Amino acid sequence: MRRLESLRASANFDRVLARAARQLAAAADTPPAAPGPMADAGPDPAGAAPPLEGATAPPPPMTSGLEGFAGAIVVTGDADPASAVDEAAQRIAEGAPPAPGREAVQYAVEAIVLDTMRPPWLIVGDAIRIDRDFDRSDLVSGRLDLFNGLCRPVGRVDLIHHATNEFVGTGWPIAPGIVVTNRHVAQEFAEADAFGRLRFRRGLDDQPIEATLNCIAQHETDGLRRRTFVNEVLFVAGPGEPDMAFLRIEPATGIEPLPISARPAAKGEPVGAIGYPARDSRNDATVMGQVFQDIYNVKRFSPGFVMEVQPDGATFTTDYSTLGGNSGSAIVSLDSGEVVGLHFAGAYHSANYGVPVDLVTAALRAVLPRTHPSAAVPGPDGAAPGPEAAPRDRVTAPEALAGREGYDPAFLGPDRRVELPDVGDWGDDLAPVTGRDDGQLTYRHFSVLQSASRRIPLLTAVNIDGAQAQPLKRRDRWALDGRIDAAHQIGGAFYADNPFDKGHMVRRRDPGWGTPEAAREGEEDSFHYTNAAPQHAALNQRHWAGLEDYLMGAAETRGFRLSVFTGPVLRESDRPLAGAAPPPDGGAPIRIPEEFWKVAVMINDATGALHATGYVLSQGRMIRDLTEAAFVLGAYRTYQLPIRQIEAATGLDFGDALRDADPLDPGGRELAPRRAVPINGPDDLVL
């Protein structure tokens, strides 16, 4: 059951509750549609959903401020509807827990208020018109330029020569020249021929149906010119697969890719759907008219919250307001200003459904190599890896990085110092750094130790202060670091025309804190090749990329502060890319690491003690001896495991203090349980 804290805190709560009562009273004669997800494609499909079985007539009028809508309340047993509503409203106002046996009443009242507090704001002249209440309107109103910019490239999928539909849904640019929408949207104008090749269907007068991305379909549109034609259908997902499709569009000014989140959506996170709701007979006509003001087929920004994230990570649910035509909407986080999902379905008075954006980008990276190998696709940290065929990489001069303090061992407190690990035999392999004798490349809020022989980081170390995080616009201009030899780095040419991404070791958002200038420097510094290692495009990094966020949100973490070490597991058995040409810069051949590790350190808020946990992104090699069943190599997954196992695999030494602070290996006792814990969400962390 969703919480009411944010509603109780609203200054407009009483007024909104009363208004909800009046609205639901007006709609009492029309029973709600049956629950269950339904695809949103197309405006107003024929046929309305059947009413709920056992629907009852409204009870007699009530004397309270909730007069007239008790018939919409589910009441169990012999309880009187009027008293049940009065009691529920009283408890909500007082912040009290539900009375025994009245949980259903609380949910019903809560749902009515939430319906009222989920306004689909119109977008007029490329600007969101905030004219109705939402629990966290401040998150949008305080950063209107950011969210207005996110809305601009989202377009309506219009059709020409279709027999019945002028438009069928929503699409948005996910990579240069590529738009994502839903499978059931694309199927309205695309089909496969006898050889499985995708083509445009035939429509009126046997003409091929044409599709356009229309970004100017807004309320009171005046003078805007931003639309483009779809010239190729790249991919349509099959039955049982996530509901998505990719389209290639003609280049157009102003239709630029949206920023992609590096982490999955979290339960309770504020989000917004950007799309084109159409009149939909599957919804209650009166409620629909009130919520959408009888204005349809134009662009809207619909705020709400994430309700649940499925354990397998395949879908998540939300409570924003949508209609048919929202299929393919971009779901953006109101915290980060980045896309976290692709909307694909909704159930009246129940939930909306989204595909997590990491599944969308992983699918696109798998599709493009067999269609357009040089196309740029958002990487696992939200950055586009290409195009990489530029003749020369940008180089950051040493003086431009002067004064960067790097990783701070005393970040968690002067009496809780966390030093860089001892690199052991790797010390002789560190790339020489101009002006330093310790091999440390210092950036804003993080440091890198670079392996000269492997040309990638041996390890990175970053200080993260979540309380001082700044929202930043993505700047994904990669560069070589001029403080070390180019032959000790992997430049952009390697990443052209192969299925490998530049995998951030320090996430781009992690050093983005402090003053606006410091945050910008930290984020820009993360786009040096010294902070990247080749990672296969199909690598599933959902929970790996979210680890820092999981830990930051844990009740045990003091002050939203973490120190995090990350790196690849470097082995002699790592193989080079098949068929790769010798490096043009004369550097060592590039071998691809198979696994990656992470050690996170924090201060336990309850005890004040140091707390350290280890993780690995693995296909099985490091953890095969730590699992109970016989291990078969399969898909990559994120595991938590003892830090000493990471030390054994990497040759690094994190010291007794961190080993003793590891809950999977307390005190380094020989009899301590040795195990690997699969991480499918924050609840799986052993803290």
Q: In this predicted structure, what is the pLDDT of residue 284? A: 74
Q: In this predicted structure, what is the pLDDT of residue 252? A: 84
Evaluate if residue 469 carries a pLDDT over 50.
yes
Q: Environment class of residue 205 by beta-carbon count within 10 Å: exposed (0-12), middle (13-18) or buried (19+)?
A: exposed
Q: pLDDT class for 23, splitting at 50, 70, 90? A: very low
Q: In this predicted structure, what is the pLDDT of residue 545? A: 66
Percent of the chain with pLDDT over 90: 42
Topology of domain 108-366, per CATH? Thrombin, subunit H (2.40.10)
The separation between CA 268 and the C-alpha centre of its own chain, rounded to angstroms, equals 13
Evaluate if residue 680 carries a pLDDT over 80.
no
Q: Stretch 127-156: mean pLDDT, rounded?
A: 90
Q: Return all residues near 316 (Cβ < 8 A) that are at least 6 apart.
A: 264, 265, 306, 307, 308, 309, 310, 341, 353, 354, 356
DSSP string, 223-290: S---EEEEEEEEEEPPTTS-S-EEEEE---TT--PPPB-SS---TT-EEEEEE-----TTS-HHHHHH
Evaluate if residue 25 carries a pLDDT over 50.
no
Q: Is 453 helix (H, G, I), strand (E, B) or coil?
A: coil
What digits encode the pLDDT tens for the residues 416-433? 999 999 999 999 999 999
Q: pLDDT class for 506, splitting at 50, 70, 90? A: very high
Q: In this predicted structure, what is the pLDDT of residue 315? A: 93
Q: In this predicted structure, what is the pLDDT of residue 51? A: 28
Per the CB < 8 A criterion, the answer to whether 295 and 335 are in contact is: no
Average pLDDT score, the chain: 76
Q: Stretch 350-369: mean pLDDT, rounded?
A: 87
Percent of the chain with pLDDT over 70: 68
Q: In this predicted structure, what is the pLDDT of residue 556? A: 55
- What are the distances in angstroms from CA 3 to CA 135, 268, 286, 306, 682? 12, 9, 27, 12, 19
Evaluate if residue 138 carries a pLDDT over 60.
yes
Pairing of strands 210-214, 198-200: unpaired
Q: In this predicted structure, what is the pLDDT of residue 48? A: 32
Evaluate if residue 670 carries a pLDDT over 50.
no
Flag the least confident range among 308-312, 455-459, 637-641: 637-641
Q: pLDDT class for 298, splitting at 50, 70, 90? A: very high
Q: With left for phi above 0 and alpha for psi between -120 and 50, is residue 462 left, alpha or beta?
A: beta
The reply to whether domains 108-366 and 400-576+587-684 share a CATH topology is: no
Read off the amino acid at residue 650: T
Q: pLDDT class for 321, splitting at 50, 70, 90? A: confident
The separation between CA 535 and the C-alpha centre of its own chain, rounded to angstroms, equals 19
Tokens 């699918």 locate to 363
What digits encode the pLDDT tens for the residues 37-61? 555 545 554 333 322 223 333 333 3
Residue 504 annotated to the active site: yes
Q: Which of 162, 504, 543, 611 is catalytic?
A: 504
Instruction: Identify any residues that bridge with 300 across adjacent strands, giving them in sequence order.
Output: 122, 275
Tell me the domain boundaries of the chain. Answer: 108-366, 400-576+587-684
Q: pLDDT class for 291, splitting at 50, 70, 90? A: confident
What digits encode the pLDDT tens for the residues 377-402? 555 454 444 433 344 789 999 999 99
389 phi and psi, to 5 degrees? -85, 15
Q: Check whether 540 is labelled as a binding-site residue.
A: yes
Of the segments 117-126, 195-204, 433-442, which one has the largest average pLDDT value? 433-442
How far apart CA 40 and CA 26 sit, in angstroms, is 26
Q: In this predicted structure, what is the pLDDT of residue 669? A: 43
**E strand or H helix at 358:** helix 357-367
CA dihedral for 466, 467, 472, 477, sign (positive or negative) = negative
Higher-pLDDT residue of 469, 3: 469
Flag the least confident range among 354-363, 413-422, 468-477: 468-477
Q: pLDDT class for 549, splitting at 50, 70, 90? A: confident
- Domain 400-576+587-684, CATH: 3.40.570.10
Per the CB < 8 A criterion, the answer to whether 190 and 236 are in contact is: yes
- What are the distances in angstroms from CA 329 to CA 136, 232, 353, 403, 466? 20, 20, 11, 44, 29
Give the count of beta carbons closer than 10 Å to the beta carbon of residue 221. 14
- What are the distances in angstroms from CA 211 to CA 160, 387, 460? 6, 26, 46
Evaluate if residue 129 carries a pLDDT over 60.
yes
What digits encode the pLDDT tens for the residues 587-620? 667 888 888 999 999 998 888 889 899 988 875 4
Structure tokens at 350: 């129940």
Give the count of beta carbons closer than 10 Å to the beta carbon of residue 577. 15
Evaluate if residue 89 carries a pLDDT over 80.
no
CA dihedral for 83, 88, 93, 99, sign (positive or negative) = positive
Higher-pLDDT residue of 217, 682: 217
Q: In this predicted structure, what is the pLDDT of residue 39? A: 58
Q: Return all residues near 247 (Cβ < 8 A) that are at least 6 apart.
A: 171, 178, 179, 180, 181, 186, 211, 213, 230, 232, 233, 234
Q: In this predicted structure, what is the pLDDT of residue 591? A: 86
Q: Stretch 26-32: mean pLDDT, rounded?
A: 42
Evaluate if residue 167 carries a pLDDT over 70.
yes
Q: In this predicted structure, what is the pLDDT of residue 211? A: 95
Q: Stretch 74-89: mean pLDDT, rounded?
A: 39
Flag the least confident range among 99-113, 177-191, 313-327: 99-113
